[in-house]
Amino acid sequence: MEIIWGPERGPVEVADLPRHYPWPERDGAAYVRAMMVSTLDGAAAGADGLSGSITGDADGEVFVAVRRFADAVLVGGGTLKSEEYGPLRSTPEDAAAREAAGQAPAPVIAVVSGSLDLPLGEDGFTGSAQRPLVFTTADPDPERLAALRERCEVVQADGDTVEVSWVIDRLVERGLWRIVCEGGPTLLRDAAAQGRLDEADLTFSPLLVGTASTPETQLLTDPRSFRLEQVLAADDFLMTRYLRRDPA
Q: How many residues does the chain have?
A: 248
CB 214 within 8 A of CB 205: no
Q: What is the pLDDT of residue 122?
A: 83
Q: What domains, with CATH codes, occur in the chain?
A: 28-214+225-244 (3.40.430.10)
Query: How many whole angstroms separate alpha carbon 17 and alpha carbon 68?
Result: 10
CB 161 within 8 A of CB 14: no
Secondary structure class of 85 (helix, strand, coil): coil
Tens of pLDDT, residue by residue, the chain (248 residues) = 999 999 999 999 999 999 999 999 899 999 999 999 999 999 999 999 999 999 999 999 999 999 999 999 999 999 999 999 999 999 999 999 999 999 999 999 999 999 999 999 989 999 999 999 999 999 999 999 999 999 999 999 999 999 999 999 999 999 999 999 999 999 999 999 999 999 999 999 999 999 999 999 999 999 999 999 999 999 999 999 999 997 55
Q: What is the pLDDT of residue 248?
A: 54
Q: What is the pLDDT of residue 246?
A: 77
Taking the model in full, what pTM does it have? 0.96
In DSSP notation, 7-69 reads SS-EE--GGGGGGGS-----TT--EEEEEEEEETT--SS-TTS-GGGG--HHHHHHHHHHHHT
